[in-house]
Amino acid sequence: MSDGGPTRREWLRYGSALVGGGLLAGCSEGESTDTPADGGADQTATPTDTPTAEPTATPTDTPERTATADSAAETPYSVSIEPVGSVEFESVPETWVANNGSWADMGIALGLEPPKGVWLTNRYHTQYYDEIPGVSVDKSDMVSLYQDGVSKELFFELDADVHVFDPNFLMNRFKGWEESDVAEIREEVAPIFGNCIYAQHYPWHSDYRYYTLMEGFEKLAQVFKRTDRYEAFEAVHDEFQSNLAPVVPNQGERPAVAVLWGVGNEPEQYYPYVVGEGSGFKHLRDLKVRDALASTDIKDFHGSRAAIDLETLLEVDPEVLMLRGYEAMDAGKFQDTVVSFLEDHQTASALTAVQNGDVYRAGGLYQGPITNMVLTERTANQLYGADAELFDRERVAEIVAGDL
């Protein structure tokens, strides 16, 4: 806490854009309960909420990463992002916390040390790095910022050099946080820099811009002075997009897909997702998935917060089911647990997707540049039978290691 003298983050100066709250639109007291799409309270009914279900990579396989910028310049610099405005840095941050796996993955792609904390560590699915030679993330010391609420004291304990999250998310999603609390963290610990990019449904985000995954990635690269790695990764991403084009069939040949969050390992209720904007849907948009729910009367979960039952799903009877909430399971366990339950269920077994063996994990909501390519390729193989590697894994590993 400040005693009126210089703060312990004097070397990191924050811009004036937040003063008065002019850019922190819609800062009302937020929801107190969580939903599958949110980074708040854990959902005990969903399998991803069991931290031990997720494999932890060994740090010995991780290429050496340092938080020191590729450029040795230590002159002050500033980076702007909505809604926080311009943030000025005296030198490059060394430690950080991240909103979720989207931003965490961007840092890994830049060759940074993993963040000291994310909202929920069990929703940062580090097993995706198994696809990339020599890249892994050890989460054993990583902290969940949400622990039955968000503690201001935890930010002081972590003592990070920068907090990469949207302050509006913090104030609107959790009771007890006000602009004065955000200002205290910003002034007494370290700057706040970020934008909520994974989905585009929050009303408090309606009057300032969203960023695409790659736009957010570029902003983070500017913060850590690693724009050369961003540019190298951008080339990989562009090549990946070119490789996707011939994989995607014409619209009439694409199966109708329902994207749902299953409740529990024996799901009889589902939260429906209409494929929309945001980094959490990028893999589905890039594959031009034909959305089986978009033309129905079923309300998107983001707007309704309501679940549907199997009888309602049977009325739609999509050709493919893509289920969220099961990324902590590998394909075999998902098949033996969730799919087997559906095959044995009186109503679920009548679904076309179940009968044809077209029930898959849908991928996580929090995607960064590496994890998005892994998930997009996986989904392309599932939906369209691509059966091919669509991005250069060796090149990704080189960029992470700084071999540009």
How far from 42 is each of 37, 262, 273, 294, 371, CA to CA, in Å?
A: 11, 15, 19, 28, 22
The pLDDT tens digits for 323-345 are 999 999 999 999 999 999 999 99
CATH topology of domain 246-400: Rossmann fold (3.40.50)
Range of weakest confidence among 17-21, 89-93, 139-143, 206-210 = 17-21
Q: What is the pLDDT of residue 220?
A: 98
- Residue 174 pLDDT: 78
What span, in angstroms and rounded, lies between the C-alpha atoms of 197 and 347? 37
User: So what's the pLDDT on residue 302?
Assistant: 78
Q: How many CA atoms lie within 13 A of 223 on its CB side?
A: 31
Are 156 and 90 contacting, i.e. CB atoms less than 8 angstroms apart? no
The CATH T-level fold of domain 19-240 is Rossmann fold (3.40.50)
393/373 Cα distance (integer angstroms) = 10
Q: What is the pLDDT of residues 159-198, one digit of tens each?
A: 999 999 999 999 998 787 999 999 999 999 999 999 999 9
Pairing of strands 143-144, 117-118: parallel
Q: Is the pLDDT of residue 3 over 50?
A: no
C-alpha span between 111 and 94 (Å, rounded)? 12
Mean pLDDT of 56-77: 50
Q: Are 143 and 151 in contact (CB under 8 A)?
A: no
- The two tokens of residue 12 are 């990191």
Chain segment 249-278, per-residue pLDDT in tens = 999 999 999 999 999 999 999 999 999 999
| Distance separating alpha carbons of residues 353 and 247, to the nearest angstrom | 21
Degrees (nearest 5) of the Cα angle 72, 76, 82? 115
Q: Where are the chain's structural domains?
A: 19-240, 246-400
Whether 19-240 shares its CATH topology with 246-400 is answered yes
Question: What pLDDT is attached to residue 173?
Answer: 83
SS (H, E, C) 137-198: CCCCCCEECECCCECHHHHHHHCCCEEECCHHHHHHHCCCCCHHHHHHHHHHCCCECCCCCC
- Taking the C-alpha atoms of residue 317 and residue 59, their distance in angstroms, rounded to an integer, is 44
